[in-house]
Amino acid sequence: MNLILFTFIVLLGFTSYYFGRKKAYTIQSTKKRLTALPQFYGYYLAIWCAIPAFIIFSLWAIFEPTIVKLLILSDYSNQGYLDDELNLLYEKSKALSRGQFTGEITPFIEASAEKYLSLRSIAQSSKVVIVLSAIIASVAYAYKRISSNSRTREPVEKFLNAVLFTASLAAILTTVGIVFSLIFQTIDFFKVIPLFDFVFGTHWYPAKAFVRDSSEALDPTMYSDTFGAVPIFAGTFFIAFIAMCVAIPIGLMSGIYLAEYASTKVRQYAKPLIEILAGIPTVVYGFFAALTVGPFLKELGTSMGLEVSAESALAAGGVMGIMIIPFISSLSDDVITSVPQSLRDGSYAMGATKSETIKRVIFPAALPGIVGSILLGVSRAIGETMIVVMASGLAANLTLNPLESTSTITAQIVVILIGDQAFGDPKTQAAFALGMSLFLVTLCLNIVALRVVKKYREKYE
């Protein structure tokens, strides 16, 4: 129904464009000068068609459900139901009217389901009538208004400008959405679990916080020693550290080689090949780490008499390091290439060899950019999910032994939220609290890294 209406409105828009242009041509044929190209008269009318439709549609989407609900629940208003019960009744009748209801059907619910259906159909038809009449009225008004000397280009361009501006707000809206979705659950979480216990507690065992009914949820004694995030944070940074131990030397050295030594031909092939590593989906790395690297390390360890877990931090961290190599190599390659040639020439003139120039002149000069690229790599490592979920353990161990298994923030979020979630349960909220800490940590790293790289770029440009 909505789709048909929508198509119809789009058609109306095209028609009004056509009529607007036609009117402009008629004005033109009377040898009067137009103030804008004929298309603009068309656009002008089309916009007058789109705006009322858009406004009414969005108002409808916002208010229709609330009004329908109020009307239905007004039947029950003086029967002494609680708010929750009323909500439940409403949801039940809604489900029944859609034929998705499985519970016991009482006459009450049946009656309100019928009422719901009739209200919905009234709302639908009145929407159609209102939208169409509003469009016709506004287009007719605009059609009468346009004459040879009326301005059409300026309003059209102003409108377009407003659309462009709104689109550019999408990025801010996304950030707001992220903060918004995280913050309420996080606050609720810290109402039950003290912040201190979360940040300094050393036992993480969310499965213990299984809530059987809602009265238990607010009993804080139940959660003591359950949501201590230290092992999770430690595991996250530990795995990120292992990853960087792999990624920094290899990435940095290949960046230096590509920028300073490699011939154009080698560069032409080696650079995109290395960058393929960044394009492989992380779930593929996860599979590789779990299927190949983990068992391989375990076998290797056993042959050397070491006890290695099949889900060791080393396997996850190592594979993650491989994934991060191209980030560091490309960024440091860029940074090194943008060091001015005069610095190199000066160093060579003093008799330094190429490697001495790199180590003593170029590297210090490029250091801020390189640090920035490493920070971005760290932020990636901390936020990486699939590799740890598949290859690292899911139980939180507080350990510094790379051969044992540990867990990370991201892995815990997935473990908690996979399958069905109950909002309002501290376990679910814990995932959002972890997400919040992840967001804050990566945000700080990103801001610092981006600023460092930007400052550095400005220095040499």
> Shortest gap between Cβ of 153 and other proteins (angstroms)?
7
- Token digits for 102? 């499985």
Q: How far apart are the first and last CA of the chain?
A: 58
> Shortest gap between Cβ of 173 and other proteins (angstroms)?
9
Q: Residues in contact with other proteins, total (CB under 8 A)?
A: 90
Touching other proteins, residues 418-447 (CB under 8 A): 418-419, 421, 423, 431-432, 435, 438-439, 442-443, 446-447
**Sign of the torsion angle spanned by Cα atoms 108, 113, 114, 116:** positive
Examine residue 258 and tell whether it contacts other proteins (CB under 8 A). yes
Judged by beta carbon, residue 120 or residue 203, the one nearer other proteins is 120
> Shortest gap between Cβ of 130 and other proteins (angstroms)?
24
Binding-site member from 29, 74, 102, 168 for other proteins (CB under 8 A): 168
In angstroms, rounded to a whole number, what is the distance separating the alpha carbons of residues 395 and 415?
10
Examine residue 294 and tell whether it contacts other proteins (CB under 8 A). no
Residue 33: φ, ψ to 5°? -80, 135
| Residue whose entry in the numeric block shows the structure tokens 């459900």 | 65
Examine residue 160 and tell whether it contacts other proteins (CB under 8 A). yes
Judged by beta carbon, residue 105 or residue 242, the one nearer other proteins is 242
Binding-site member from 9, 72, 209, 274 for other proteins (CB under 8 A): 274
Examine residue 450 and tell whether it contacts other proteins (CB under 8 A). yes
In angstroms, rounded to a whole number, what is the distance separating the alpha carbons of residues 279 and 381?
15
- Token digits for 250? 């290899």
> Shortest gap between Cβ of 356 and other proteins (angstroms)?
7
Touching other proteins, residues 75-134 (CB under 8 A): none
Judged by beta carbon, residue 137 or residue 266, the one nearer other proteins is 266
Examine residue 172 and tell whether it contacts other proteins (CB under 8 A). yes
Burial status of residue 123 (CB atoms within 10 A of its CB: 0-12, 13-18, 19 or more): middle
Examine residue 228 and tell whether it contacts other proteins (CB under 8 A). no
> Shortest gap between Cβ of 120 and other proteins (angstroms)?
16
Q: Buried (b) or exposed (e) across 440-457, using 16+ Cβ within 10 A?
A: ebbeebeeebeebbeebe
Binding-site member from 57, 108, 287, 348 for other proteins (CB under 8 A): 287
In angstroms, rounded to a whole number, what is the distance separating the alpha carbons of residues 377 and 124?
52
* C-beta separation of 46 from 64 below 8 A: no
In angstroms, rounded to a whole number, what is the distance separating the alpha carbons of residues 390 and 388?
5
- Token digits for 342? 């005069």
Examine residue 372 and tell whether it contacts other proteins (CB under 8 A). no
Examine residue 24 and tell whether it contacts other proteins (CB under 8 A). no
> Shortest gap between Cβ of 379 and other proteins (angstroms)?
6
Judged by beta carbon, residue 6 or residue 196, the one nearer other proteins is 6
Examine residue 452 and tell whether it contacts other proteins (CB under 8 A). no
Examine residue 59 and tell whether it contacts other proteins (CB under 8 A). no
Part of the chain binding other proteins (CB under 8 A), chosen from 115-123, 209-217, 308-316, 384-392: 384-392
> Shortest gap between Cβ of 304 and other proteins (angstroms)?
21
Binding-site member from 59, 67, 70, 253 for other proteins (CB under 8 A): 253
Part of the chain binding other proteins (CB under 8 A), chosen from 25-33, 118-126, 182-190, 309-317: 182-190
Per DSSP, 418 falls in state: S
Q: What is the 3-state secondary structure (H, E, C) of 61-122?
A: HHHHHHHHHHHHHHHHCCCCCCHHHHHHHHHHHHHHHCCCCCCCCCHHHHHHHHHHHHHHHH
Examine residue 216 and tell whether it contacts other proteins (CB under 8 A). no
Q: Which long-range contacts (CB under 8 A, 24 or more apart) does 358-366 make?
A: 358/256, 358/260, 362/260, 362/336, 365/339, 366/332, 366/335, 366/336, 366/339, 366/456
Examine residue 340 and tell whether it contacts other proteins (CB under 8 A). no
In angstroms, rounded to a whole number, what is the distance separating the alpha carbons of residues 326 and 377?
10
Examine residue 382 and tell whether it contacts other proteins (CB under 8 A). yes
The region, left, alpha or beta by phi > 0 then psi within -120 to 50, assigned to residue 393 is beta
